[in-house]
Structure 1
Amino acid sequence: MKGVLPDLPPLFSRRAHLPAEGTTVYRAAHTTETDGLFALDVAGGTGILSMYDTLAAEQELELARACAEAGKLTGIYVKRRPVEAKHAANTERDYLSPPDPIWGEAAPEITALENGVPFLIRPGADLSIGLFTDARPARQWVRQHAPARVLNTFAYTCGFGLNAALGGADTVKNVDLSRKVLSWGQDNYALSGLSAPDTDFLYGDVFEWLHRLHKRGDRFDLVILDPPSFARSRNGTWRAEKDYAKLAAQAAAVTAPGGRILALLNHAGVSPAAFERMFQRGLDNVQRGGRMAERLGPGDDYPQATHLKVQVWQLDG
């Protein structure tokens, strides 16, 4: 096997407090702890093994078995994530994200908890299983600070929107380009006993929706931005490192006076300072005053992680 397999049991023991605190979906081994070879996420009794280097089939199975034994897991799914995976996701889906476990029992759908909030996790559904666990502190922040009107863009399965609703927001709009994940988000709402009318789940391009909402005069007390670092659409190519200022400007245009923007960027190549400069440039472009008020990061199950930047921007009244 390439590299040296880390001592897995201590990694699990470092996360032993999480289930006791109401979190049963988390990162059990981060790449900073495995010399970049793999990461392991846990959802209930199932593991999701993300491979960042290529192993022979028997080595991959050996690693899966070792992870299962260390974490007392009943099944292991694999996600193969070579550098080119984002481009091959549609053509090689069954190889990159096999629908069946490579070891142990199948678990097509799991109800797991994050800070006591239930979420549907689908380990074999795609490269993304239903929740990005590094954003757990940011979702908790939203639940603790939810104002009356919230716009959740690039919503995926609506984890931020759900936490805003649970935090007492009167209006929450979730926007995403995939009907499939918005429906998944409605299922997550149902798990918490919340109403999930279709009018709160807006299908379509986020930039087009931001333009539409601004034009009709909708304003929000909190706007959540969690875009991909790279994406293609009919409107062209999005690259966060060069396009985030435009997104910040459009978000500011639908943010109420005195409102806030929670901005996330998952890009190891952009420093927190560079991210702050990009965002400030976006505010300047639409002549909105504001300041970066707070920084958040991933949870303690992501030791030494530098990929995720989370900033809370307070706009002027």
Structure 2
Amino acid sequence: MQTESIVKVKSKFVKSYQAGFPLILKDAILNIESLTKEGMIVQLVDEKSQFIGKGYYGKQNKGYGWILTQNKKEKIDQSFFEGKIKKALAKRKDLFNSTQTTAFRVFNAEGDGIGGLTIDYFNGYYLINWYSEGIFAFYDYVIDSLRNLVEYEGIYQKKRYDTGGKYIEEDGFVDGKRGQFPLIVKENDVNIAVYLNEGAMVGVFLDQRDVRKTIRDQYAKGKTVLNTFSYTGVFSVFAALGGATKTTSVDLANRSLDKTKEQFSINGIDTETQDIIVEDVFQYFKYAVRKKKMFDMVILDPPSFARSKKRTFSAAKDYKDLLKEAILITEKEGIIVASTNGANFDMKKFKGFIDQAFKESNVKYSIKEEFSLPSDFATIKQYKEGNYLKVVFIQKH
């Protein structure tokens, strides 16, 4: 692609890179001026110019790119990308063969060997997520790899970085034939409506597949369920199909009302039998306390960071207080499903928030189950931040 630029790494970072840490940190680079154009291939060397690894420059969150290989002779070209994608597809063979689930992740960034790139599968359609201008420079390699490796109805893409308005696409369509939306996919035999052609979100978070199944199969029967930060209400649909007596879905976004109704409808559930409320979750908690409303199960799946007119929510700072609000309206022996995608703290710290919340509420609890990412969301042990999902089923005593 381009000539390789040499990037010198500060000595204190060398060991972790040699051990396989993949993110090129801004703080680790000595000669930042050598990074001139996103997408350029970079060779990382130590202060004595000894080779460490090779990757690309692309600004993403805290990083300045990703290491792709520790083999100096390996070329970052079409066959490199195709090899990584082919390997990832083979790992998901069982999911491709499933008739019960037709939506899953087929390529999970650094977990499958290329940081900054994810590819999801939705019933014949592939959705590519580009997380930096740097990875987007390899567009042709990725598209050609998919063309060579899979049969598809169509390919869509989403650019999840600030494009400064440069790449304004009507709907993200790339190749094949345009989808008819909503596209109906299945997850463990439940219908989900997705839109690959609308904004950043498609209508479901695929990383919660195991959690939704567990709610439906083991916890929902005969229960009243409150689903907060409910987005398109998919947790509520699973709860209803699992025999919940009533679900209440609460989300601040106006679009959540119609989107949630749609998810119920495509599963044959009368929306009139469920409550769908457009409101700030924290305001709803206050209302529920005032009205003495109690629930057998409360699902908490907030974004790691959110801002409304009245408050800012950060999972790392505010999750404990969110839990305390949920404890107040959860029945005795009821279940709280506490979930976070905050990558800046681990499960141990998350359990610490849970423990604090219950202690400060003077309520006893026990942990019933824990979940992290499902198998299609591949991760590597050298990059713990990549394993971001933490879900704990808590029983209030």
Q: Is TM (by shorter chain) over 0.5?
A: yes
Where do residues 230-269 of structure 1 align in structure 2 (5 Å cutoff)? 230-269=305-344
SS of 2:178's equivalent in the other structure is: coil
Q: 1:68 to 1:278 in 2, by over 3 A?
A: farther
Contact 2:230 2:249 in 1 (8 A): yes
SS of 1:294's equivalent in the other structure is: strand
- Decide which of 93, 96, 103 is 1:16's aligned counterpart: 93
Please identify, of 246-255 and 189-198, the stretch whose mean Cα deviation from structure 2 is larger: 189-198
Where do residues 124-139 of structure 1 align in structure 2 (5 Å cutoff)? 124-139=197-212
Shift of 1:74: 2.6
Corresponding residue of 2:144: 65
Shift of 1:56: 7.9
SS of 1:303's equivalent in the other structure is: coil
1: CA distance between counterparts of 2:376 and 2:191? 19
* Identity between Structure 1 and Structure 2 (%): 27
2: CA distance between counterparts of 1:250 and 1:96? 41
- Decide which of 6, 27, 40 is 2:105's aligned counterpart: 27
1: CA distance between counterparts of 2:279 and 2:309? 11
Shift of 1:100: 3.4
SS of 1:214's equivalent in the other structure is: helix
The CA RMSD measured in Å over matched residues stands at 2.1
Q: 1:58 to 1:168 in 2, by over 3 A?
A: same
One-letter amino acid of the structure 2 residue matched with residue 22 of structure 1: Q
5+ long unaligned stretches in structure 2: 2-55, 57-67, 69-75, 380-385
- Decide which of 102, 124, 132 is 1:53's aligned counterpart: 132
Corresponding residue of 1:219: 294
Where do residues 184-203 of structure 1 align in structure 2 (5 Å cutoff)? 184-197=259-272, 200-203=275-278
Shift of 1:79: 1.4
Q: What count of residue pairs does the alignment treat as equivalent?
A: 309
1: CA distance between counterparts of 2:283 and 2:304? 18
Q: Deviations over 1:45-97 (max 9, x none)?
A: 11111112324867314412322442322322111223xx5xx8xx85x9477
Contact 2:248 2:277 in 1 (8 A): yes
- For the pair shown, which has the larger CA radius of gyration, 1 or 2? 2
2: CA distance between counterparts of 1:97 and 1:115? 33
Corresponding residue of 1:150: 225
Shift of 1:106: 1.4
Corresponding residue of 2:396: 315
Matched, 1:163 2:244: no
One-letter amino acid of the structure 2 residue matched with residue 25 of structure 1: A
SS of 1:36's equivalent in the other structure is: coil
Where do residues 261-280 of structure 1 align in structure 2 (5 Å cutoff)? 261-280=336-355
Shift of 1:231: 0.9
- Decide which of 149, 155, 163 is 1:76's aligned counterpart: 155
Contact 2:100 2:188 in 1 (8 A): yes
Q: Larger relative CO (CA 8 A, sep 6+): 1 or 2?
A: 1
5+ long unaligned stretches in structure 1: none
SS of 1:118's equivalent in the other structure is: strand
- Decide which of 168, 171, 184 is 1:99's aligned counterpart: 171
Q: Deviations over 1:203-250 (max 9, x none)?
A: 110111011112101111110000000111111211100000110000
Corresponding residue of 1:179: 254
Contact 2:228 2:298 in 1 (8 A): yes
1: CA distance between counterparts of 2:170 and 2:116? 19
1: CA distance between counterparts of 2:395 and 2:307? 30
Deviating 4+ runs (over 3 angstroms):
1-4, 55-59, 94-98
Contact 2:358 2:364 in 1 (8 A): yes
Shift of 1:199: 5.9
In the superposition, the TM-score normalised over structure 1's length comes to 0.91
Contact 1:78 1:97 in 2 (8 A): no
Contact 2:246 2:273 in 1 (8 A): no
Q: 1:277 to 1:216 in 2, by over 3 A?
A: same
Shift of 1:155: 0.6
Contact 2:130 2:136 in 1 (8 A): no
Contact 1:77 1:100 in 2 (8 A): yes
Q: 1:237 to 1:95 in 2, by over 3 A?
A: farther
2: CA distance between counterparts of 1:73 and 1:34? 23
Shift of 1:30: 0.5
Q: 1:280 to 1:120 in 2, by over 3 A?
A: same
2: CA distance between counterparts of 1:141 and 1:208? 28
SS of 2:313's equivalent in the other structure is: strand
Contact 1:79 1:96 in 2 (8 A): no
One-letter amino acid of the structure 1 residue matched with residue 198 of structure 2: A
Shift of 1:98: 5.0
SS of 1:197's equivalent in the other structure is: helix
